[in-house]
C-alpha cells in the first residue's frame, strides 16, 4: 500500500517549484491562481527570493503548501494514494491532495493560519527546542515538572522530540533534559511556541475559518496529527484540524499506524526530504521515495 506524506515548515528553498512552472501548463496556471488569491507574487519569491524572504511566516507556509499540492496535481494518474498524512502544515496539503479541500480553500486557510500564528507569537516570548536521545515519556515527565508552560510538541521519530513553550520554561527544560541524559537539547530558531497552549489565540481564529470552509468526502483516508488514526469523515477531519495548532504533532504514532494497516511505500510530496528520513527512523523496513512528475 502507498502512503503519500507532505512536509511542513522548514522544507522551503530558493527556486522551489520553478521546474514545475517551466514545464507544466497546469502548474503554471495554479501558481498564477495562488498569486491572485494571496494578493502578492508568492511565485516570484519562491523562484527568486532569498532564504530570508522565504523564512517569513506569511511566505513559508503558503509556499510549501503551493509546491506540495501543485506537485501532487501534476503527477496526474500516477498519484494513487491508499492513504495520506502531513506533518503539521503538511496536513493541509494532504487534505487538498485527497480531495477533501479545494486548492483555493486550502490556500486561504494556510494563509490565515500563518497570519494567526505570527500574531500569537508576538504576544509573549516563546520558542521550541529539539531533544535527542531520550524516551518520549521521560521528556514528557520532565516538561511537566518544569515551572512555566512547556510541552511535547512534535513526536518526529523515536529519540527525536521537539518541545515548545515559554522561552524561560523551554530553557529550564533543556537543562533538566541534558541532566537526565539527553544527547542534545537544542533551542530552535523559530518565532514562537507552535503546537503548545500558547497558540490558543491562533487556534480560535483559525477554527472559525475552518468552520466556514467546505470539507468534502476524501478519495482516501488521512492520518491526522491530532488523532493518529485513519479518518475519512469530513466533519471529523474538520474538527481534528481545528485543534491542530495547540495539540502535538504525533508523527511517529501516525506513521506506525499507517504501517500497521499495510503501508509499505512512503512517497514524500513537496520540497525537501525530511519526512523520508523520519519514516526510515520510525521503521527501517519502510520503502521511501521522492515524488516525481
- CATH number of 168's domain: 3.30.70.250
Out of 43, 88, 196, 227, which one is annotated catalytic?
Answer: 88
d(CA 11, CA 228): 22
- The tens digit of pLDDT for each residue in 184-209 reads 999 998 889 999 999 999 999 999 99
Residue 293 is predicted with a pLDDT of 81
Is 88 one of the catalytic residues? yes
Query: Are residues 110 and 25 part of one domain?
Result: yes
Read off the pTM: 0.96
* Antiparallel, parallel or unpaired: β 150-157 and 160-166: antiparallel
How many structural domains does the chain have? 2
How deeply is 25 buried, as exposed, middle or buried, from its count of CB atoms within 10 A (0-12, 13-18, 19+)? exposed
The C-alpha cell of 56 is what?
A: 517569513
- Final residue in a domain of this structure, among 187, 210, 225: 187
Does residue 192 lie within any of the structural domains? no
CB distance 266 to 287 below 8 Å: yes
- CATH number of 240's domain: 3.40.366.10
- Final residue in a domain of this structure, among 141, 166, 187: 187
- The tens digit of pLDDT for each residue in 90-148 reads 999 999 999 999 999 999 999 999 999 999 999 999 999 999 999 999 999 999 999 99
Over the chain, what HEC string results? CEEEEECCCCCCCCCCCHHHHHHCHHHHHHHHHHHHHHCCCHHHHHHHCCHHHHHCHHHHHHHHHHHHHHHHHHCHHHCCCCEEEECCCHHHHHHHHCCCCCHHHHHHHHHHHHHHHHHHHCCCCEEEEEEECCCHHHHHHHHHHCCCCEEEEEEEECCEEEEEEEHHHHHHHHHHHHHCCCCEEEECCCCCCCCCHHHHHHHHHHHHHHHCCCCCCCCCCEECCCCCCEECCHHHHHHHHHCCCCCCECHHHHHHHHHHCCCCEEEECCCCCHHHHHHHHHCCCCEEEECCC
Query: Are residues 16 and 116 part of one domain?
Result: yes
Residue 10 is predicted with a pLDDT of 87
Query: Are residues 149 and 80 part of one domain?
Result: no
Does residue 151 lie within any of the structural domains? yes
- Final residue in a domain of this structure, among 187, 212, 235: 187
CB distance 68 to 269 below 8 Å: yes
Query: Are residues 141 and 112 part of one domain?
Result: no
Expressed as residue numbers, the domain containing 161 is: 126-187
Positions of the chain with pLDDT lower than 70, given as ranges: none
Residue 253, phi then psi, degrees to nearest 5: -65, -40
Out of 195, 196, 227, 254, which one is annotated catalytic?
Answer: 195
Is 195 one of the catalytic residues? yes
Amino acid at each position: 500500500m502507498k502512503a503519500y506524506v507532505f512536509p511542513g515548515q522548514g522544507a522551503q528553498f530558493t527556486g522551489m517549484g520553478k521546474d514545475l512552472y517551466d514545464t507544466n501548463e497546469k502548474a503554471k496556471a495554479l501558481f498564477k491562481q495562488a498569486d491572485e488569491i494571496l494578493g502578492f507574487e508568492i511565485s516570484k519569491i519562491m523562484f527568486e527570493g532569498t532564504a530570508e524572504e522565504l523564512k517569513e511566516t506569511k511566505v513559508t507556509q503558503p509556499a510549501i503548501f503551493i509546491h506540495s499540492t501543485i506537485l501532487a496535481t501534476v503527477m496526474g494518474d500516477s498519484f494513487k494514494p491508499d492513504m495520506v498524512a502531513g506533518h503539521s502544515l503538511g496536513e493541509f496539503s494532504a487534505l487538498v491532495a485527497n480531495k477533501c479541500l479545494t486548492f483555493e480553500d486550502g490556500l486561504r486557510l494556510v494563509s490565515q493560519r500563518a497570519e494567526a500564528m505570527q500574531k500569537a507569537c508576538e504576544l509573549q516570548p516563546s520558542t521550541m527546542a529539539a531533544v535527542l536521545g531520550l524516551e518520549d515519556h521521560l521528556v514528557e515527565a520532565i516538561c511537566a515538572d518544569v515551572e512555566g508552560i512547556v510541552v511535547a510538541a512534535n513526536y518526529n521519530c523515536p529519540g527525536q522530540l521537539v518541545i515548545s513553550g515559554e522561552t524561560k520554561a523551554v530553557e529550564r527544560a533543556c537543562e533538566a533534559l541534558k541532566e537526565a541524559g539527553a544527547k542534545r537539547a537544542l533551542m530552535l530558531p523559530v518565532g514562537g511556541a507552535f503546537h503548545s497552549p500558547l497558540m490558543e489565540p491562533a487556534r480560535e481564529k483559525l477554527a472559525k475559518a475552518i468552520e466556514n470552509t467546505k470539507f468534502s468526502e476524501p478519495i482516501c483516508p488521512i492520518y491526522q496529527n491530532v488523532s493518529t488514526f485513519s479518518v475519512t469523515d469530513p466533519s471529523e477531519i474538520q474538527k481534528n484540524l481545528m485543534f491542530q495548532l495547540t495539540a502535538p504533532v504525533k508523527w511517529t504514532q501516525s506513521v506506525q499506524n499507517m504501517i500497521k494497516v499495510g503501508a509499505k511505500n512512503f512517497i514524500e510530496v513537496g520540497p525537501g526530504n525530511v519526512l523520508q528520513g523520519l519514516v526510515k527512523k520510525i521503521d527501517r523496513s519502510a520503502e521511501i521515495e521522492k515524488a516525481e512528475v
